[in-house]
Amino acid sequence: MAALLAAAAAFAASAQEPAGRRITPVTPSTNTVKAPPKGIDDKVVERYLSGDTLSALAEARADSLKRVYPRYPLLTDVTFGINFLDPVLALFGQKYGGVDLSATLNMWNRLQPVVEIGAGMAKDTPDDLNYTYRGKLSPYARLGVNYNLRFKSEPRYMVVAGARLGASAFTYNVTGVTVSDGYWNESEKFDLKGLKSHALWAEVLLGLRVQLWRNLSMGWQVKWHKMLSYKRNGYSAPWYVPGYGNRERSLTAGFSLYYTLPLSKGKWPKTDKPALAPAAAQPQQQ
């Protein structure tokens, strides 16, 4: 009986309290997926929109780096060239010159080992001096490397910076040398023939190459070079050095015609990738 009275009292007390407010919890919507970056592969987009964002973003980032820094195969192409600027300048009065051939191996479309060989000669009788200088046709060689500053682009167009080490062994004559004696008012002529010399020099360059038609292209180079060593012959020093030019000048140039043979072209990266369809790039909401 006492238990029933206690239960009735508790029920009456609870009936007198104001009714409490019932709050239904609301969960905010979190199913909105942002649009993936443009230009990534469709498979990555599908993974991105399905919720696998971490791995999709990592793959998208790697794919983006490939587009920004395309990696060409080790052996991209090999190019053969002929520099014929000196023969052109000889038509305008230059007293020396030569022709050289080059072979360039393009690696990763960046580093380019270069070999250049050629031959040059000179003949000049300075107006203000009393001799004739004749440099016999002699060989020279240059070894060096280029760096393609446009390695992100296709190899058809290049801007390169390079360095070379050149060497030449040659023979020259100095004839008709006139020596005057002011006291006796007499003069004497003599010749210096078969003078042998050799030279070693270094040079840096900046060059441009553009495609003309298919595998043919042309290029220009501006060079700064410095003589490292050369052989004198008594009181005579070589005026012209094959492959270097006038020994007293530090600037020279080149104008070449090139023929390129592509290597492993099937492995070259695709520089132009199609953009995603507009529908795939739109955010989806549920």
CA distances from residue 271 to 48, 66, 155, 243 in whole angstroms, order as listed: 24, 9, 11, 38
Using one digit for the tens of pLDDT, what is the confidence trace for 193-249? 889 999 999 999 999 999 999 999 999 999 999 999 999 988 788 999 999 999 989
Copy the structure tokens of residue 226: 């410095």
pLDDT in tens, 208-224: 999 999 999 999 999 99
Q: Do 33 and 50 touch, CB atoms closer than 8 A?
A: no
pTM value surpassing 0.85:
no
